[in-house]
Amino acid sequence: MHDIRFIRENPAAFDAGLARRGLEPLSATILEADAQARSAQTSVDTMLATRNAASKQIGALMGKGDKEGAAALKAEVEAIKLDLPAREEAKRAADKALADMLATIPNLPVEEVPQGADENDNAEVARWGEPVEIANVREHFDIGAPLGLDFESAQVVSGARFAYLRGPIARLNRAIGQFMLDTHTEIFGYQEVVPPVLVRDDALYGTAQLPKFAEDLFATTDGRWLIPTAEVSLTNLVREQILDGDLPLRFTALTLCFRSEAGAAGKDTRGLIRQHQFDKCELVSITTPEQSNDEHERMTGAAEHILQSLGLPYRRMLLCSGDMGFSARKTYDLEVWLPGQGKYREISSCSNCGDFQARRMNARYRPAGEKGTKFVHTLNGSGLAVGRTLVAILENYQNEDGSVTIPEALRPYMGGLDRISAL
């Protein structure tokens, strides 16, 4: 949610930020709605003040024996009581109109974010590892089928974009997730959390998936939603709170995630790259404004550590203004090398949201030595997407005999196995 005071004081800067997102100027429209909301508030406040003053005068007039004057004021108070509900409703409607408008406007990019329209305008920041040359290279779905990757059975049971993992490939998938959790908790100090995967509207509003992206989500019949990422559950741990303890707070969770993949028709229809249901190890940090930039680098480094430990070549990309997510003010994508596809593919996004989500959640902290409170900054990142990591391992560690070599970092989680073979 945007700070209305910032828009009042800096309408040109706000519109310039929207232009970087490819949006038309909106400050004039927002300020008009803001003026209407403030006018409605003034109308209610004035009427309440008049009623309260009149009520006090009635007692005084009665004490003086001025029944006629007291009766006139009573009539005035009764008229106010009749008129007040309509004015209060007008205030609620004006407040809602302003809030609804602000809720659909994305976060503004910070200065260092490159200007651009889409992924073609992203900037490469760093690269690690050398892509391997593999003779007779295959893609992960062909490698995985003999190892227990089964799309056909899932198609019968659940439809497209689902998969069964059985036997050795299921064990490898589990090992990947456990390795990620252990790394983030033991090396980087994240607190492990087992969060709900069903949430209410308010939680998704807080992290800004609602109202704009409802079509990307799966809804239940009882008014809840399946989480598209554990970012929702973890970030909302601090909603409607005033934090007094030391920041940052760091949370991690390995959960199932669910996405409808609306608008993804024809994209990655084969394989595990784009599924309706998938595992992901999420990272979330809650910081002060002064800490958030350094925390963003730290979080991205934690995700990179996983890739480096697994020996998977990747590159770090700074997303341009037109390719960032709705809540982000700055995002790094990590793209892993997939030999089967012969290109880099996204495996993690790490975003600094500033106070954008905190305003929607009313999440604040009390700075030491200060009387007031400030909104926290929130950050989130994939540390990593488990399915895409599985894809990267299958393709980068494939062998000509159909087996897949296990990266050394995962062997303790695989009972010492150094490779997996066909069922």
Sequence ranges of the binding site for L-serine: 229-231, 282, 382
Angle 277-282-286 from CA coordinates, rounded to 5°: 140
Q: What is the identity of the amino acid at 138?
A: R
What are the structure tokens assigned to 11, written together?
């309408």
Residues annotated as binding site? 229-231, 259-261, 282, 346-349, 382
Q: How far apart are CA 149 and CA 163, in angstroms?
A: 7
**Residue 336 and residue 312 in contact, taking contact as beta carbons nearer than 8 Å:** yes
Angle 313-315-321 from CA coordinates, rounded to 5°: 160
Q: How far apart are CA 247 and CA 289, in angstroms?
A: 10
Q: How far apart are CA 167 and CA 17, in angstroms?
A: 51
Residues annotated as binding site for ATP? 259-261, 346-349
Q: How far apart are CA 374 and CA 367, in angstroms?
A: 7
Q: How far apart are CA 52 and CA 40, in angstroms?
A: 19
**Alpha-carbon dihedral 16, 299, 305, 273, rounded to 10 degrees:** -60
Q: How far apart are CA 333 and CA 323, in angstroms?
A: 10
Q: How far apart are CA 289 and CA 296, in angstroms?
A: 11
Neighbouring residues of 259: CB distance < 8 A, sequence distance ≥ 6: 216, 217, 218, 228, 276, 278
Enclosing H/E stretch for 12: helix 11-20
Q: How far apart are CA 417 and CA 404, in angstroms?
A: 11
3-state secondary structure at position 317? strand
Q: What number of other Cβ atoms are within 10 A of residue 129's Cβ?
A: 16
Q: What is the identity of the amino acid at 252?
A: T
